[in-house]
Amino acid sequence: MELVKGTILLLLVLAGFTGFSLKAPRGMKAMGALAGAATASFLVEAFQLYVGGDLLGIEFLGRVGTSAGGMGGVAAAILVPIALGVSPTYAVMMGAVMGGMGIIPGFIAGYVMSFIIPKIEEKVPDGLDLIVIICLAAPLGRGVAEFVSPGVTFALSTIGDIIVAAQSASPYVMAFILGGVITVVATAPISSMALTAMLGLTGLPMAIGALSVMSSSFMNYIFFDRMKFGDRSTTIAVAIEPLTQADVISANPIPVFSTNFIGGGIAGMIVNYFGLINNATGTATPIAGFAVMFGFNPAKEVLITAGLCVISGLTVGYLGSVVFKNYKIKTVAEIRG
């Protein structure tokens, strides 16, 4: 029952993001800004902390990554208002009061305040608006983030129960579910890096997360290319970091999420078979996740496992494009036009 409840919650969360993208006022623009915030914080952390700091042993790069990883909420609270037309000064003000908040609370607060700040500017005489925004909007933005933060944490924790429930079942069932879930989350604004870091995954589960997401790069490349979601730059971008195309993915949840779940699950079973480990938590990202594997496993086993994951990813991506060839998709031109 825990496995069923966790899976249902994950689907509800992903459905919520999709509904927000399609129906909320300027939802697509906000989602694009959220993807940018995740890239600017979590991706920098993955490369600099786990590759430059932990793997290469460069202490300075480790500090760079640590600093960036804690700024997800700040980045979201800045980029979302800017994307929705708020003055950069006020957007940075929103980010400045989000220290210590997660990326999703920062995103929600930034989105809400993107509609409140212009109203204040409209109603308050010039010259007084700055003071009113400092006195009212800044604490209100922080209040919104703190109000939603417990619910966000609960949702992510419950999704993590999938892992706990699956670990008590067959190892291959665990590997398939874990690989599928983390790969789906990697294509959603929740961020697989954020999820695995919050759960503190290490060992085999983290290895499954890292290589299943790496496999998804090749899977999504061929899937996006054959489905014609956008031009070549879109295809390359989704292969390097799915979060950069969060708006496109959220607008096409059924083909993208289902293909990624199957592909990630198969990759997870491959990693489980070889028994690789990864003790660098939070490295569920295509390039950095693959790189850190060499720090914990023999190079030959990493290369063989990763190679099989790539082959499975390409195969599932191709089959997904065949299954959904007649599915009506929303293209980049329609979403961002």
Residue-wise pLDDT for 189-220, tens only, equals 666 776 676 666 788 888 999 999 999 999 99
Euclidean distance between CA atoms 144 and 17, whole angstroms: 18
Which band of pLDDT confidence, cut at 50, 70 and 90, is reported for residue 323? very high
Residue-wise pLDDT for 128-172, tens only, equals 888 999 999 999 999 999 999 998 777 777 766 666 666 666 788
Please check the confidence at residue 298 and state whether its pLDDT lies above 80.
Answer: yes
Global model pTM greater than 0.85:
no
Which has more pLDDT, 125 or 50? 125
What confidence score (pLDDT) does residue 250 get?
A: 79
DSSP conformation class of 228:
T
Do residues 10 and 182 lie in contact, with contact meaning Cβ atoms separated by under 8 Å? no
What confidence score (pLDDT) does residue 177 get?
A: 85
- CB contact set of 94 (below 8 Å; sequence gap of 6+): 77, 78, 81, 86, 109, 110, 113, 137, 138, 141
Report how far apart, in Å, the C-alpha atoms of 35 and of each of 49, 98, 205 are.
Answer: 20, 17, 25
Euclidean distance between CA atoms 316 and 314, whole angstroms: 6
What confidence score (pLDDT) does residue 191 get?
A: 66
DSSP conformation class of 38:
H
